[in-house]
Amino acid sequence: MMHKELADYVGVSRQTICAIEGGKYSPSLEVAFQIANILCSPLESVFYYLADVEGLKEYADGLVIEVIVEADDPGDEK
């Protein structure tokens, strides 16, 4: 999906989508949920928050456009 298409669906500008993707802007919860819904992915698969090893918190690189689905490994069952 192109930035402009996603922006049109969500109701924001293409520049806003680019800023979110680049980690320069944090979207509102409403916009974040809309983006996740449009991408048919859970919110936590699209947006995530990482704590660094020294206890400081920083945002990850922003929007994950490509969603990777891994198959369940039957050997992982316990």
6-61 tens-digit pLDDT: 999 999 999 999 999 888 888 999 999 999 999 999 998 888 766 544 454 444 44
**What domains can you pick out in the chain, each with its CATH number?**
3-76 (1.10.260.40)
Alpha-helix residue ranges (DSSP H) falling in 1-78: 3-10, 14-21, 29-38, 43-46
Which pTM was predicted? 0.62
CA atoms within 13 Å, Cβ hemisphere of 49: 5
